[in-house]
Amino acid sequence: METPQTGLSLPKYLQEEELTEECKDKTLPTILTCQKNFQAQDSDIFLATTPKSGTTWLKAIGFALVNRRKYPDPINHPLVTNNPHALVRYLELEPRIDYQADNTSTTTASPRLIATHLPFVSLPESVKNSACKLVYLCRNPKDNFVSVWQFANKVRTKEMGTNPLEETFDKFCRGVNVYEPFWDHALGYWKESLENPQGFLFLKYDDMKEHPEIHLRRIAEFIGCPLSLEEESRGVVDDILNLCSFDTLSNLEVNKSGKLSSGHDTNVFFRRGEVGDWKNHLTP
Ligand code: A3P
């Protein structure tokens, strides 16, 4: 199927009329530009997620880990004054994809830390062909769905009213989402993590919530900056987890009343941050 404005080919499961104008006019063309032009570097670290699976948390942890020697003081840390989405940008949402390594900038210092919601099949070829590292985070689909639904309601204008739960559920199950069906997304990265464990680390939000310290150490090791014995004895793991926790981040002024350059209020990225909230909204 081709959209008249953009000439984009759409997968069969997507009905053209279900795509928003913003998606047709902005998101999909930007993704195509990124696929064509983005040049990966072997030192790049990608953080890939489905929307509402804990991206904000993973961005905070990734940023804190990679920059822990540069910003050892949790009180004067960039995460205290910046929302994690301002520090780690999305590959496919940047209008200009230049990500030049720049050690003076928090967002583009080398190694570059870059987020993406793209499914594996849609990553730029240069990413697939490089030796970069990719950490994937997914979440149990029921909590993921509830979070998507709640987020969609928060960002709608008052005049638009609330999205009916049944309709949003039907779309989620059919994969009517700019980043593809849930299972295709998760399984695409799962398969890569089995075939190339050096390049892909597959994580689950639910496991991270249960044993955050184990998974923080796994991420550090995987991206090539394992915690030293000296750091372990100084309690760096707990310091990073505290700084990046839901309670700390959601109570910072920047995340209570800030705005991102995308226009989103920063508080929309923090709701409950729990496992099993689906039980409050869905029948088994
Ligand atoms: P809920 O809506 O279930 O509360 P994303 O960051 O991908 O947009 O996902 C948002 C979800 O992650 C929301 O889940 C949000 O509350 C939760 N979240 C945000 N920051 C978090 C953190 N530091 N730790 C754990 N969960 C967090």
Predicted ipTM of the assembly: 0.99
Concatenate the DSSP letters of all residues of 94-132 into one string.
Answer: -SS------TT-TTTPSSPEEEE---GGGS-HHHHTS--
pLDDT at 100 over 70: no
Output the pTM of the full model: 0.92
What is the pLDDT, as a whole number, of residue 110?
79
Distance 276 CA to ligand 1 centre (A): 13
3-state SS assignment for residue 81: helix
Which ligand 1 atom lies nearest to the CA of residue 249? 23
pLDDT at 156 over 90: no
Q: How far, CA to CA in Å, does 126 sit from each of 34, 42, 123, 132, 194?
A: 10, 10, 8, 10, 20
Distance 135 CA to ligand 1 centre (A): 17
Which of the residues are catalytic?
A: 117
What is the pLDDT, as a whole number, of residue 14?
55
Cβ(225)–Cβ(65) under 8 Å?
yes
Which ligand 1 atom lies nearest to the CA of residue 209? 25
The domains located in the chain, with CATH, are 12-280 (3.40.50.300)
Q: Which of 52, 65, 215 to mutate to test the pocket of ligand 1 (most atoms within 8 A of CB)?
A: 52
What token pair was written down for 150? 């709640």
Residue 65: CB atoms within 10 Å: 22
Sign of CA dihedral 200, 201, 203, 208: negative
Q: Mean pLDDT of all residues in the chain?
A: 89
Distance 6 CA to ligand 1 centre (A): 33
> Half-sphere exposure of residue 144, counting CA atoms within 13 Å on the CB side?
23
